[in-house]
Structure 1
Amino acid sequence: MTQEIEGIDPAVPPSGPGCVECEAAQGWWVHLRRCAQCGHIGCCDTSPAQHASKHAEQTGHPFIQSFEPGEEWFWNFRTEQMYGGGPELAPPHNHPIEQSVPGPRERVPADWRSHTH
């Protein structure tokens, strides 16, 4: 039996392979984060637009999980705590391995480091 955690729904799949808002605006990101409650994929706080944090602020969804290959950590926006792991969320667990970081490759400016936080 899996313990239920408020703000985490393990059955919800991710919204896609990239940041929802960056994809819509033809933007780019450094790393990706997954909302553990609704599956929204947003870009990290190093990224120019910081959509994962904005999503948490707008919705009140407290947890994100890294959507990077090989990373399983969670972040709790309410407590500002990181957890080394947690419940297994619905697959896929990361963006496609072939997807560039930062990405997507064709939209990342040559001077991308000067645009990060």
Structure 2
Amino acid sequence: MNASTDSLRTDVPPSGPGCVECDATGSWWVHLRRCARCGHVGCCDASLNKHATAHFHSTAHPVMQSYEPGEEWFWDYTTEEYLDGPALAPPRSHPRSQTVPGPADRLPADWERQLDES
């Protein structure tokens, strides 16, 4: 299925190399997702804070794209389906040097336990 062009903006760059909210609070993430409408970068649902999904609920922007290097899939929260979509404004992912999970300097030693408990 293809993403609706109403849900996408190919001219909007991502908000930065990491999850906006996690960066603001000093938290960490597992993987990153990018809003295909406004460029907001948030953490995935495997992360503690699930900021990408929270962004969808607060803005009704339905389509996210993986913000991981080498991944180009889109996800539509309203249909709960993977989609094909166009190339979004660069960069297409966080820097390859950025650790996953990450960022490394904020990743707690017990991060796996924290995820299991969440």
State the TM bucket, normalised to the shorter chain: over 0.9
Q: Structure 1 residues 50, 4: closer, same or farther in 2, change over 3 A?
A: closer
TM-score (norm 1): 0.93
- Aligned partner of 2:54: which letter? K
For residues 15 and 27 of structure 2, the distance between their equivalents in structure 1, rounded to whole angstroms, comes to 17
TM-score (norm 2): 0.93
Q: Which runs of 5+ in 2 are unaligned?
A: none
Matches within 5 A, 1:53-68: 53-68=53-68
For residues 4 and 48 of structure 1, the distance between their equivalents in structure 2, rounded to whole angstroms, comes to 29
1:112 aligns with 2:111: yes
Match of 2:31 in 1: 31
More helix by share: 2
For residues 102 and 45 of structure 2, the distance between their equivalents in structure 1, rounded to whole angstroms, comes to 15
Stretches (4+) displaced over 4 A: none
- Aligned partner of 1:107: which letter? R
For residues 112 and 33 of structure 1, the distance between their equivalents in structure 2, rounded to whole angstroms, comes to 19
What CA deviation, in whole Å up to 9, does each residue of 1:59-81 have, x standing for no partner?
00000000000000000000000
For the aligned residues, what is the CA RMSD?
A: 1.3
Match of 1:76 in 2: 76
1:21 aligns with 2:21: yes
Q: State, as a whole percentage, how many aligned pairs show the same letter.
A: 57
Give the total of aligned pairs.
Answer: 114
Q: Which runs of 5+ in 1 are unaligned?
A: none
- Aligned partner of 1:88: which letter? A
Q: CA deviation at 1:114?
A: 1.8
